[in-house]
Amino acid sequence: MSRKPDTTPTPGRVSLSTWGDPLFKGITFVFAAGVLALLVAMFAVLWHESAPSRAAFGLGFLTDASWNPVTERFGALTAIAGTLISTLIALLVAVPISVGIALFLSELAPARLRTPFGVGIELLAAIPSIVYGMWGLFVLAPILSNLVQPALANSLGFLPLFSGPQMGIGMLTAGLVLALMITPFIASVTRDVFRMVPPQLKESAYGMGATTWEVVRDIMIPYGRKGIYGAVFLGMGRALGETMAVTFVIGNSHRLSASLFAPGNSIASTLANEFTEADGDLYLSSLVELGLVLFLITFLILGFAQLYLKRMSAPGGRS
Amino acid sequence: MPNHIDTRRRVLTNRLVMGISTLSAMLGLAMLAWILGDVALKGIHAINWDFFTKLPPPPGETGGGLANAMLGTLLLTATAALIAVPFGVMAGTFLAEFGHGGRVAAVVRYVSDILVSAPSIVVGMCVYLLVVVPSGHFSGWAGALSLAVIMIPVVTRTTDEMLRLVPTEMREATLALGAPYWRMMLGVIYRAAAAGMTTGILLAVARVSGETAPLLFTALNSPYWLDGLNGPVANLTVTLFNYAMSPYDEWHTLAWGAALLITVSVLVLTGFSRIILGTRIR
């Protein structure tokens, strides 16, 4: 007899167990595929709508610094440069501070201080970016223009980087606000990475007479290198695509300048300022191509971040 | 003794680095206190009965409030959650229950992790091109949709992680009683993971309630009372942006009020989710 034994007592159950599970699995599969579809749809619409701009400017779009709606000549160089420079400033400031915070949270802080400090850092991550932007404009920018920029100009003014208008609004301010925003992200991921270092390794080093700093430098940082790279790339991805915090303080000018004090723009701030006002197909299409460039750059960087973090973490690790 | 000097240098270096590390942590907390303090001090002046009950004033006039924007933000966020929660929970269920370490699940996980941090302004731009342009007008639906797109990967990944925390024995026990898989999920597994999943949803809601960029091109903003989701919808974040960038002092005050309200709501939501889960938040 090859018939399967009937284990279900009622006919109703038979039908449910035959179509219920495949249906449930099918529905969940459709939604999971839907997440991929979102990505594909976003990419497709950006690609399709940027066609006029790609046809008109080609690859030269990426290296052209002009942005003129009247003559309909558009290039992405200023915005790309602004995005990269503000992100670089942010990383230069945020990475050392974040590693310091992570070190404090994982190694130095007394047990009863760890939770309040940890919560504080994570609250910093939860503050919406527009609040950072507004605070940067009304509080940080005046301080920079009255105190920090004159001091920098007096001491390092011979460098073109630190000469120019001391308005408090510009590339430097944008980079600092971004640094403030991404520090909690990098710090909390780095702290988790430090916590993954096996205690045996650290204790062996301490047992040999190493100081805390030597354990960090020679054991924890080498062990967690991939995870730290991941944390930095994660912060970088956030900084590249951050819109509101930057739009408030970057100054929104389409001119390339060697000075960090001068106003500039980033891809995201250009989109925020001009997208709804763009008249003319080529103008709109050029803005869409800017968005496409931003999407590709951040996707690449965040992809690296996840690769590094996945390699670092145990199976079923962080989200 | 060179060895002695070397040890002293090592100890000094150690002290220096430890000092810098402690200072970094102090700096982090100080920045938090500074920002929250400024938002509270400047925002509190805007908080009064009118702030919660009236429409915004015309430029240059005092009084008025942001009641329409508060309603709008609530409605946009709730609509977005209604779209994103079922979507994300179902997708997360596939990843945790049927993915089996397969390639599809791995790719979806990877993409969701990237989308969690993807630039929200690009999401707003895509929704503008896909919804606002064809329909010919800005709308609350488009705004809610772009917020939903931002929520979906967060909910997906939290659901995934939380379901995988449910012990296998619980699944085996339910299946051994003869329950079909879907019945087991609805009756047992989702309940077991409920606290964690709620946390993920609250965190996603907290995150989008402070989002501005995706609303700029979709829900836009409006100085009027809410009139359905078919037209532009007033919301707190875009109002904050417009008012803070305006030259009027009265509008600046209202913008600080909005900043205070948004910050408090986001922090309260984040705190709630922390209490529910009883562990660390991301």
Contact A276 B216 (CB under 8 A): yes
Establish if A314 touches chain B: CB-CB under 8 angstroms. no
Reported as a single tens digit per residue, the pLDDT across A152-208 is 888 888 888 887 788 888 999 999 999 999 999 999 999 999 999 999 999 999 999
Selecting from B112, B123, B213 the residue whose C-beta is nearest the C-beta of A244 gives: B213
Reported as a single tens digit per residue, the pLDDT across B216-272 is 999 888 888 888 888 889 999 999 999 999 888 888 999 999 999 999 999 999 888
**pLDDT for residue A156:** 83
B276 versus B66: the higher-pLDDT residue is B66
The CA-based dihedral angle spanning residues A204, A205, A207, A212, taken in that order and rounded to the nearest 10 degrees:
-130
Tokens of A134: 């507004």
Cα distance between residue A195 and residue B126, in whole Å: 39
* Domain topology for B51-277: MetI-like fold (1.10.3720)
Contact B21 A104 (CB under 8 A): yes
Distance of CA A195 to the CA centre of its chain: 23
**pLDDT for residue B5:** 66
Reported as a single tens digit per residue, the pLDDT across B73-93 is 999 999 999 999 999 999 999
Q: Does B60 score more than 90 pLDDT?
A: no
Establish if A28 touches chain B: CB-CB under 8 angstroms. yes
Selecting from B111, B123, B185 the residue whose C-beta is nearest the C-beta of A36 gives: B111
Contact B280 A108 (CB under 8 A): no
- Return the bridge partners of A264, or none: A251
Please check whether residue B89 is in contact with residue A13, taking contact to mean a CB–CB distance below 8 angstroms.
no
Residues of A in contact with B88 (CB under 8 A): 31
Selecting from B117, B157, B182 the residue whose C-beta is nearest the C-beta of A234 gives: B117
Residue A166: count other Cβ atoms within 10 Å of its Cβ.
18
List the 52-91 stretch of A: residues with Cβ below 8 A of B. none
| Best-predicted range by mean pLDDT (B33-37, B97-101, B215-219) | B33-37
Cα distance between residue A25 and residue A76, in whole Å: 45
Average pLDDT for chain A: 88
Q: What is the 3-state secondary structure (H, E, C) of A58-124?
A: HHHHHCCCCEECCCCEECCHHHHHHHHHHHHHHHHHHHHHHHHHHHHHHHHCCHHHHHHHHHHHHHH
Three-state DSSP class for residue B61: coil
Min Cα separation A171/chain B (Å):
18
Cα distance between residue B44 and residue B26, in whole Å: 26
DSSP B13: H
**pLDDT for residue A81:** 94
Q: Does B281 score more than 50 pLDDT?
A: no
Question: B131-169 b/e with 16+ CB inside 10 Å = b?
Answer: bbeeeeebbbbbbbbbbbbbbbbbbbbbbbbbbbebeee
DSSP B190: H
Task: Compute φ and ψ for B233, nearest 5 degrees.
Answer: -120, 130
Contact B17 A105 (CB under 8 A): no
Best probe of the A interface among B16, B22, B121, by most A CBs < 10 A, is: B121
Minimum Cα–Cα distance from A191: chain B residue: B282
Min Cα separation B50/chain A (Å):
22
| Residue B68 to residues B60, B232, B234, Cα–Cα distance (Å) | 19, 12, 6
Residues of B in contact with A17 (CB under 8 A): 180
**pLDDT for residue A279:** 83
Contact A276 B220 (CB under 8 A): yes
Q: Which of A4-18, A78-92, A213-227, B224-238 has the lowest mean pLDDT?
A: A4-18
Task: Compute φ and ψ for B266, nearest 5 degrees.
Answer: -65, -45
Contact B93 A28 (CB under 8 A): yes
Min Cα separation A120/chain B (Å):
6
Residue type, B4: H
Reported as a single tens digit per residue, the pLDDT across B161-182 is 999 989 989 999 999 998 889 8
Minimum Cα–Cα distance from B238: chain A residue: A130
User: What residue ranges do the domains of chain B occupy?
Assistant: 2-46, 51-277
Please check whether residue B132 is in contact with residue B218, taking contact to mean a CB–CB distance below 8 angstroms.
yes
Cα distance between residue A199 and residue A215, in whole Å: 11
Min Cα separation B110/chain A (Å):
7
User: Which residues, including other chains, have CB under 8 Å from residue B217's CB and lie 6 or more apart?
Assistant: A275, A276, B124, B125, B127, B128, B132, B138
Cα distance between residue A2 and residue A23, in whole Å: 27
Q: Crossing angle, helix A225-241 and helix B120-127, to 10 degrees? A: 50
Give the angle subtended at the CA of B131 by the CAs of B134 and A252, to the nearest 5°. 105
Question: A233-263 b/e with 16+ CB inside 10 Å = b?
Answer: bbbbbbbbbbbbbbbbbbbbbbeebebbbbb
Selecting from A27, A126, A240 the residue whose C-beta is nearest the C-beta of B90 gives: A27
A258 versus A48: the higher-pLDDT residue is A48
Confidence of residue B154 (pLDDT cuts 50, 70, 90): very high
Tokens of B183: 């019945």
